[in-house]
Structure 1
């Protein structure tokens, strides 16, 4: 017969078998409406909790050794055998982690969301929300076999952006906040680049109002993006082509006043060009 991968057999361990012998009679008695008295009631509770902890720790050993299928099966048994323990709740969360670690991000998102739905007040809801955001972030395609980022559908990126932003609004002091901010900024830059890609497409087609509308939409939707000066220079260039020199001048001046870097240099060059055009008109 084939050998099961991982260090743990998919069959219940001896500890699980003992737990089964203890738990099943209790559940049958409860279902029949009988009072449950197993010697010292406090001792029975401790035995249940100790067995739940031991079963959970056994599942965690498979998890830490990256025996994912064994870990999934063992966590599922913890939930089945010890449904009224804290370890059943933790096992449900770890099953979602197994999906995440296997890079099954869509399944992980579903599992984390189900955990939140089932345990709205649990202290690990913050962690589950963080992992949802991280799953969506990692699910954004970035392989070299695909078209450039700007040309791809941005549905997953937009969902990740919203989830990351919601997490930061609700948990500004979270221990995960720094990592979430980095992801949020990265996704924001990607989405902004997509908007500028579309705006440049309209500009090449000489569809100037659509170009301006797309840039303004991007600036409103993604405030604080590191690509703001690039967007503003593109807007100023479009306004020049629309023969709106005063509006263009105001945009370029904003780049000079509020931003540095290479786009400030570009804005300064456009301002010089506007000055030359103005001087030429005055001389004629």
Structure 2
């Protein structure tokens, strides 16, 4: 118990000493304010900036060493003691980064959005938007204890997909664009798989209009997905079951003409089946 109390007092004393060391120059400047000359104003500004930088760098040392709580307290000190410095703005952003690094993604999103709200024209707004999108993407639950991805609610994935897409539209040449494109494609694939999962559920129940509606909705909502040929083959198969051979043929032909890979092979197999059915009907007549 004594050791715990001693440790706590030691940390508190250290923080007090840091704060005292940062505040004293400001108090001395204020006390001598009436005697300052014009040149002294520039010195005061430099002292304020230097002290702010020193306090921020001290907080960053704790941040880099992953002493998260110490870093949080020190960044808060920077914001409190030097509110008119650039370092107060940076400290606010780093507090959001703290939540991100600790995988507290909902808190990180909230903090980054607050930063953007407070500093709409700041040069780091692009970074904050990138981290919002990345936080949402990482918050998509991948635990194996839950049902497969396609069976889960996709609300978070959809929000991440939209945020990532908005970032790319607004910042196509950003240094973060490549990473965002990868996350966007991954989120899109997850959402498309979910739509196909639901479509197959309806297919097993022979609810064919619902299958087509789900596939068409997915193709419209997630254009360019790598799962497009799979979705089209499923649509063609559904049209065959609905006894709409001409529409099914058009869909399968689209897959053969526009896509390679295994689903083009599957589409060719269905086209051959349609040809055989057509030949049988002719013989019957």
Structure 1 length-normalised TM: 0.90
The 1:50/1:29 distance shift into structure 2, 3 A limit, reads closer
The 1:82/1:114 distance shift into structure 2, 3 A limit, reads same
* Count of residues paired in the alignment: 283
> In 2, are the aligned partners of 1:6 and 1:70 still within 8 Å (CA)?
no
The 1:159/1:18 distance shift into structure 2, 3 A limit, reads closer
Which aligned runs of 4 or more in structure 1 are off by greater than 3 angstroms? Answer: 1-39, 281-284
1:162-192 CA-partner distances (Å, limit 9, x unpaired): 0000000000000000000000000000000
3-state SS of paired residue (1:6): helix
1:112-137 CA-partner distances (Å, limit 9, x unpaired): 00000000000000000000000000
> In 1, are the aligned partners of 2:59 and 2:71 still within 8 Å (CA)?
yes
Greater mean alpha carbon deviation, residues 107-116 or residues 38-47 = 38-47
Aligned residue runs from structure 1 range 69-84, under 5 A: 69-84=69-84
The 1:193/1:78 distance shift into structure 2, 3 A limit, reads same
The 1:3/1:127 distance shift into structure 2, 3 A limit, reads farther
**Pairwise CA distance, 1:282:** 4.0
The 1:202/1:171 distance shift into structure 2, 3 A limit, reads same
Gaps of 5+ in 2: none
Aligned to 1:249: 249
> In 2, are the aligned partners of 1:52 and 1:82 still within 8 Å (CA)?
yes
The 1:251/1:75 distance shift into structure 2, 3 A limit, reads same
Greater mean alpha carbon deviation, residues 30-39 or residues 158-167 = 30-39
Gaps of 5+ in 1: none
**Pairwise CA distance, 1:143:** 1.1
**Pairwise CA distance, 1:223:** 0.0
The 1:130/1:249 distance shift into structure 2, 3 A limit, reads same
Greater mean alpha carbon deviation, residues 179-188 or residues 33-42 = 33-42
RMSD: 3.3
Aligned to 1:58: 58
Aligned to 1:129: 129
| Greater share of helix | 2
